[in-house]
Amino acid sequence: SNAQSLASAFNTFQSSINGLLASGGALQNNIVTSQLAMNMNSQALATLNNGSSTLRTLSQLGVQFQQPQTVGMVGTLTLNSNTLQYAYNLDQSGAASLLSQSAQGFNTLSGAYANAGYGILPQSISQLQKLVQSENTLVQYSSNQDPFNLNNLLAMMSNGTADQSANLSGSQISALAQYASVLSLGEPFAVQALLVGSIGQLGASSGFSAMA
């Protein structure tokens, strides 16, 4: 029962991850998820230290790993009950220990990726969410207006919150610099003072330095 539960849990995981990695999937070509898939496959084939027992791989318990049809995907586990019965009759404690170690290995490995707070995947998702939020802010502030108009750029910096103002894109910041450079030919101090003053006010709350 425990061996079948392990195989079933692995195959449920396989189905979910492969669906995300497949063409058109939400995590297609995602390096982190692909690495998790490969590591789980390796864990299924791993040789474990099982004390004095000669049972050291899942295949010796009849839990056979089937390679995925597509490279980079997760394979499947199938259970041969006859092989399992033979291994159990040969070494009951060794069989139980190996099954337990294998299950723990899968849990530890998947936990390193998925556990809340410190897992690789939650951290990656959190960073992506921040990026999306940042880009949405830019779109919101740039809609229905020329995003490279000097007055609009300055308004975005002065009217938005510190976080929103700090989310000017690199091209918009470059546009500000170009405006300052060109217009300062006719107004040597006024434009520069306006820009530095706005950036300085922003820096007071966001850490963005006028010097920088």
What does the radius of gyration of the chain's CA atoms come to, in whole angstroms?
A: 28
Higher pLDDT, 27 or 45: 45
Regarding pTM above 0.85, the answer is no
Using CA atoms, how far apart are residues 180 and 177, in angstroms rounded to an integer?
Answer: 5
pLDDT of res. 202: 42
Using CA atoms, how far apart are residues 160 and 32, in angstroms rounded to an integer?
Answer: 35
C-alpha atoms less than 13 angstroms from C-alpha of 29 in its C-beta half-sphere: 2
CB proximity list for 135: less than 8 A, separation 6 or greater? none
Higher pLDDT, 85 or 132: 85
pLDDT-derived band at 132 (thresholds 50, 70, 90) equals low
Helices (H), the chain: 2-21, 31-44, 81-90, 92-114, 120-142, 150-159, 162-165, 170-183, 190-206
Higher pLDDT, 112 or 92: 92
pLDDT-derived band at 27 (thresholds 50, 70, 90) equals confident
pLDDT of res. 175: 63
Amino acid at 121: L
Using CA atoms, how far apart are residues 170 and 155, in angstroms rounded to an integer?
Answer: 17
Q: Angle, nearest 10°, between helix axes 92-114 and 2-21? A: 30
Least confident stretch, 101-115, 122-136, 190-204:
190-204
Neighbours of 209 (CB within 10 A): 10
149-188 pLDDT per residue, tens: 556 656 655 554 444 455 556 666 666 666 556 555 544 4
166: tokens are 């700090």
Report, as an integer, the average pLDDT of 114-126. 69
CA 159 vs CA 44, 54, 140, 154, 164: distances in Å:
56, 71, 13, 8, 9
Higher pLDDT, 126 or 189: 126
Using CA atoms, how far apart are residues 50 and 56, in angstroms rounded to an integer?
Answer: 6
Whether the pLDDT of residue 25 is over 80: the answer is yes
21 exposure class (CB count in 10 Å sphere: 0-12, 13-18, 19+): buried
Higher pLDDT, 147 or 42: 42
Amino acid at 81: S
Higher pLDDT, 41 or 140: 41
Domain ranges across the chain: 2-114, 136-206
pLDDT of res. 116: 62
From the list 69, 72, 63, the residue with the least C-alpha distance to 2 is 63
